[in-house]
Amino acid sequence: MKFNKLNIIIFIGLLAIIGVLFMQLLTLSQAYAFEKKEFSEKIHFALQDVVAKIHKDNKTEVPVTSQIKKITDDYYIVNVDDVFEASVLEYYLKTEFQKVKLNIDYEYAIYDCSSDEMMYGKYVSSSDKKAPRCEKCFSKKEGLVYYFAIRFPQLKYNYITSLQQYWVYTGVLVLVLVIYVYSVLLLIRQKKYTELQTDFINNMTHEFKTPISSILIASNYAKNQEEITKNPKLSKYVQIIIEQSNKLNQHIEKILHIAKSDSHMLELEKTTFNILDVTALAKETILLKYDKEVSIEIQSDKTEYLIVADEFHFSNVVYNILDNAIKYNDSIPKIQITITETPKEVRLEFMDNGIGIETPELNAIFDKFYRISSAKRNEVGGFGLGLFYVKKICILHRWKINVKNNPDNGITVTISIPK
């Protein structure tokens, strides 16, 4: 696996999320331990006060040693070491638990020395729900006479519910981790498909270029042969072969440019040049391509608009916009190029009188392989890469490009070049 920038970023991101998740789980564990300790202390102090009050009622002294023995987290044995009644014990348990704000279910049993058995007392619920009694959950403690046992059947559930916010945070982090991993897998898969697509396009176009070059060489040679020049039909057919081969060659070159830009191999060679000169040259080039009548007018307030950009790609951008304006036109193409300058930017507007574009499709014309849904599309050849290439070059230069329909007919393409 190659450690390129994408792989490093994915790896660091994964480590960061796992680290945050680990810290959250550690925090959750510490919070659980703290909550457990807090519950245990509340229970201990409440039971201690119950013992003290029973001794106070009996006017006896409270033993110095601790009378409360924790058997498990939810089971305690309390050695009162003095006589007491069940009703008094229940009352004191309720009041003392309320004092320490211990709102929890509990049940108790009292040792009966006459029968040598644990006599079940009562299940006290913190809610109105009827809870199951567990009389067999209490066992005798040897060596004690006046004592009672108390258990908290819902204690572990209370630990969990008291940490609701921590569980929510942990759940959100786990969800983020799952989404991140899923996104990374999609990204890697998409990257793989893109690389395969680029390799396929490169191989396909290079394989096409060899036979096309052979066709062009043979056609150009045949065109000048005496048998061909004397026969108007054959001469016309050879000329068609040459024109269509050149057109196919242009399409292949365009596909190669797009594949190159998609694989981030496209590098801009920025120089300072005059927009007006390059636009005028692109105008002359496009006029040579078409035999029909085409009107292209350039309007500007100045004779020089200097920018720093890639002159070759800028020329291609102007050429592609003009080419589309001429191709998608049912009448005599009339294109007006307006160049204006403000303190912040230089703006180029290409306004044509073509067939226009349906409003819902305006935002999609810069997508790769997209072609507008019109009858003209079937007449005009192409792959839907011209405007995608224009948008790509504008993005690389950090220019803004937008398109809108004119009030009458045609569209206006605007390129804003920050100074």
Residue 81 lies inside a defined structural domain of this protein: yes
The answer on 155 and 284 residing in a single domain is no
CB-based contact 88:54 (threshold 8 Å): yes
pLDDT of residue 340: 92
User: Domain of 323: which CATH number?
Assistant: 3.30.565.10
Cα distance between residue 138 and residue 76, in whole Å: 10
Calculate mean pLDDT across residues 319-330: 86
Per-residue pLDDT band for 337 (boundaries 50, 70, 90) equals very high
The answer on 27 and 119 residing in a single domain is yes
Would the pLDDT of 1 be above 50? no
The answer on 199 and 277 residing in a single domain is no
Mean pLDDT for the chain? 82
The answer on 215 and 138 residing in a single domain is no
What is the chain's alpha carbon radius of gyration, rounded to the nearest angstrom?
A: 43
**Tens digit of pLDDT for each residue in 233-263?**
888 888 888 877 877 777 677 666 666 655 5
% helix, strand, coil for the chain, step of 5: 55, 20, 25
CB-based contact 399:324 (threshold 8 Å): no
Q: How many CB atoms lie within 10 A of CB 322?
A: 25
Nearest to 371 by CA among 391, 357, 390: 357
The answer on 302 and 252 residing in a single domain is no
The answer on 109 and 54 residing in a single domain is yes
Domain boundary among 262, 292, 317: 262
Calculate mean pLDDT across residues 176-182: 82
Q: What pairing do the DSSP bridges indicate for beta strands 334-341 and 295-300?
A: parallel
The answer on 393 and 310 residing in a single domain is yes
Proportion of the chain above pLDDT 70, given as a percent: 87
- As separate numbers, helices (DSSP H) first and strands (DSSP E) second, the chain gives 10, 12
Q: Which residue(s) pair with 120 in the sheet?
A: 109
Residue 349 lies inside a defined structural domain of this protein: yes
Residue 174 lies inside a defined structural domain of this protein: no
Higher pLDDT, 230 or 159: 230
Calculate mean pLDDT across residues 274-294: 86
Cα distance between residue 391 and residue 413, in whole Å: 11
Higher pLDDT, 332 or 65: 332
Would the pLDDT of 336 be above 70? yes
Backbone dihedral region for residue 81 (phi beyond 0: left; psi -120 to 50: alpha; all else: beta): left
Cα distance between residue 84 and residue 54, in whole Å: 7
Nearest to 183 by CA among 36, 368, 406, 17: 17
The answer on 221 and 96 residing in a single domain is no
- Helix axes 311-327 and 386-397, enclosed angle (nearest 10): 150
Residue 173 lies inside a defined structural domain of this protein: no
Domain boundary among 106, 141, 161: 161
Residue 301 lies inside a defined structural domain of this protein: yes
Residue 171 lies inside a defined structural domain of this protein: no
The answer on 200 and 331 residing in a single domain is no
Would the pLDDT of 281 be above 50? yes
The answer on 157 and 51 residing in a single domain is yes
3-state secondary structure of 350: strand
Residue 167 lies inside a defined structural domain of this protein: no
Calculate mean pLDDT across residues 187-192: 80
Domains held by the chain: number: 3
CA atoms within 13 A on the CB side of 53: 16
Distances (CA, A) of 357 to 59, 110, 377: 100, 90, 12
Residue 186 lies inside a defined structural domain of this protein: no
Would the pLDDT of 267 be above 80? no
Q: Which residue(s) pair with 69 in the sheet?
A: 77
The answer on 96 and 134 residing in a single domain is yes
Would the pLDDT of 378 be above 50? no
Q: First and final CA of the chain: distance in angstroms?
A: 42
Domain boundary among 231, 262, 293: 262
Per-residue pLDDT band for 348 (boundaries 50, 70, 90) equals very high
pLDDT of residue 171: 80
The answer on 277 and 229 residing in a single domain is no
**Tens digit of pLDDT for each residue in 64-117?**
787 889 888 889 999 998 888 888 998 999 999 888 888 888 899 998 887 888
Higher pLDDT, 199 or 338: 338
Domain that holds residue 209: 191-262
Higher pLDDT, 307 or 373: 307
Calculate mean pLDDT across residues 14-40: 81
